[in-house]
Amino acid sequence: MNVAARSLRLQVEKWLVPTLSTPVRVTRFSRTRSNQRCYVRVEILRPAGSVGLFFFRHDDGAWCVFPPETGRVAMRSAP
């Protein structure tokens, strides 16, 4: 997968479609408590009101609107 195509800037442009008259602003940048992964909340002011989305950074460096999967416990058998 092309990580550059999943950059935060491109994801914000895809989901919120900012313009010069309706710029976006970052309202929160932090890490999750459970696994310390980065997330960003971005907001845009529309005539009908503000719209905000959370973007989560994945292990491959891509930003998505859904959080990355948490690690699962796996069992292996010894030979």
pLDDT in tens, 59-79: 899 999 998 887 666 677 776
Counting DSSP H helices and E strands in the chain, the numbers are 1, 4
- Which helix (H) or strand (E) segment holds residue 13: the answer is helix 8-16
> Which residue from 58, 67, 66, 68 is spatially nearest to 7, judged by alpha carbons?
58
What are 37-64's pLDDT values in tens digits? 899 999 999 888 999 999 999 989 999 9
The model's pTM: 0.77
